[in-house]
Amino acid sequence: MHIVDRRLNPGGKSLVNRQRFLRRARAYVQKAVRDSLKDRGIRELDKEGEISIGRDAIYEPTFHRAATGGNRERVLPGNHDYVEGDRIKRPEGGEGAGADAGQGEGNDDFQFVLSREEFLDLFLDDLELPDLAKRRLVGGEIDGIRRAGYSTAGSPSNLSVPRTMQKAMGRRMALRRPSGAELERIEDEIAAIEARDPPRPEDAGLLERLREDRAHIIRRRNLIAYIDPVDLRYRRFEAVPRPVAQAVMFCLMDVSGSMSEHMKDLAKRFFALLHLFLSRCYEHVEVVFIHHTDRAAEVDEQTFFYSTVTGGTLVSSALDKLIEVAADRYRPDNWNIYVAQASDGDNMMQDNPRVVSLMQDHILPMAQYVAYLEVGREEFPDATMMQSMTTLWQAYAPVAEAHRHFVMRKVAHRREIYPVFRELFQRRGVGERARS
């Protein structure tokens, strides 16, 4: 008898099968993942999660008999008081006394658990960050380096031997450099003739011709080098600017009395999504929370979402704060800056010009992407909100026209958050990109 300890064997034997299963059901799983957002708190977004998909996608059919119809017999245990000939009402929805209850697969959904990575992959699939690589590092910083073909000059350590030899061989063939074998053959012939004893009469002439040939070959071989400096090829590298691997995300929110809990919830969901998404694109993401009424302040997350402050509404105060913080801690040449602003759209009319100028002249030039989310009341669906133009919307509308990396959307209900988010970050076709 042997005992084998297999516990230390590499696990995950089923990983491949699992991946194949997910690939097979991908379309369904993706839909389920997006649907599951409805029931998920935004905080649990990046946890592993249980999802269920229709059985159709992954059904494995077999030939088997139908569950109903025909004449059937069955033996069951646990008779209490039946005697032969008794008649029993047929149970609803199945044949004989609960028969086959365990067999029918039923039409219920197929449930399983996705790991965190799988969940996020599917969830954020086909989204991309706009202008991820726009911001380049200026000189002095380390760039990425990548191979870029061959060059005729370079340092000896970069010499590409195969490529050089290839060139050399081509040149030798083109110039018809006599090969070593040819030289050897002639020398052999000369040796053979010289060795003849007694020499034949024609040998002298033959030898002379052969020696001449040999001299010619040697001269040609000396003239045409085996490897010539023109053959040398070096591996070429070029520096590739790498996008900064860190980003800062500014969350701006109006916390004045007009913002209801519902609106804050919407905003929070959007911010959470954006944060999740940025975390996947950048190694390091920092978040700055700025709330404002008629004054703005940088606060922590808890205060940001859960405190109410009384006061009027002055959007420019938040933008000022943003510019101040950015100048202070997040210099645009080191940081990718993302701005997400949520508001119910209220602003003092006379503040609008200043808001627009701050946005256009200061924030947009330094930011990668600015998203303005206008949250509406739940109780007023599309009709009122979507048509009426709030003060801030009016101010921002021309800005959005003029700048591609400024976007604005209206959201009134939780279920719209994700579609809007997707719309904003959807991977765009090349054509569209070129046009804009």
Partner 1 sequence: MDVRAETPLFTGSDWDFALVNRIYDAIEPIAVDEMKLNVYPNQLEIISSEQMLDAYSSVGMPLFYKHWSFGKQFVTNEMLYRKGLRGLAYELVINSNPCISYIMQENSAMMQTLVIAHAAFGHNHFFKNNYLFRQWTDADGILDYLEFAKRYIAQCEERHGQLAVERVLDAAHALMNQGVHRYPRVRPRDLRHEAEREAERQAYRDRIYDDLWRTVPVGAKAATVERDERLAALGLPQENILYFLEKSGPRLEAWQREILRIVRLIAQYFYPQRQTKAMNEGAATYTHYRIMTTLHERGQITDGAFLEFLQSHTGVVYQPTYDSGHFSSFNPYALGFGIMTDVERICMDPTQEDREWFGAIAGSCDPLEVLKDIWANYRDESFISQFLSPRLIRQWRLFKILDRESDSEVRVDAIHDERGYRRIRRALAREYDIGQQEPDIQVVDVDLAGDRTLMLEHVVVNGVLLDAGDTAKVLQNLANLWGYEVALSEVDAGNRKELKSHRSQPLSGWMR
Catalog residues that contact partner 1 under the rule CB under 8 A: 1-7, 9, 11-14, 16-24, 50, 58-67, 69-80, 82-90, 95-103, 110-113
Instruction: State the nearest-atom distance from the C-beta of 31 to partner 1, in Å.
Output: 17
User: Hey, what are 174's tokens?
Assistant: 């083109």
Contact call for residues 422 and 273 (beta carbons, < 8 A): no
Instruction: State the nearest-atom distance from the C-beta of 59 to partner 1, in Å.
Output: 7
What is the SS3 assignment for 90?
Answer: coil
**Beta carbon nearer to partner 1, 14 or 387:** 14
User: Is the torsion defined by CA of 171, 176, 181, 186 positive or negative?
Assistant: negative
**Beta carbon nearer to partner 1, 19 or 388:** 19
Beta carbons within 8 Å of 211's beta carbon, 6+ residues apart: 190
**Beta carbon nearer to partner 1, 87 or 200:** 87
Instruction: State the nearest-atom distance from the C-beta of 102 to partner 1, in Å.
Output: 3
CB contact burial 105-139 (16+ within 10 A = b; e otherwise): eeeeebeeebeeebbbebbbeebebbeeeebeeee
**Beta carbon nearer to partner 1, 81 or 379:** 81
Instruction: State the nearest-atom distance from the C-beta of 124 to partner 1, in Å.
Output: 21
**Beta carbon nearer to partner 1, 68 or 166:** 68
Which of these, 229, 269, 233, 235, lies nearest to 251 by C-alpha position? 269
* Residue 41 dihedral angles phi and psi, to the nearest 5°: -65, 150
Instruction: State the nearest-atom distance from the C-beta of 44 to partner 1, in Å.
Output: 17
Instruction: State the nearest-atom distance from the C-beta of 87 to partner 1, in Å.
Output: 4
**Beta carbon nearer to partner 1, 62 or 350:** 62
User: Hey, what are 378's tokens?
Assistant: 């739940």
Which of these, 251, 351, 254, 250, lies nearest to 311 by C-alpha position? 254
Question: Distance between CA atoms of 191 and 84, rounded to whole angstroms?
Answer: 118
* Residue 37 dihedral angles phi and psi, to the nearest 5°: -60, -35
**DSSP 8-state class, residue 260:** -
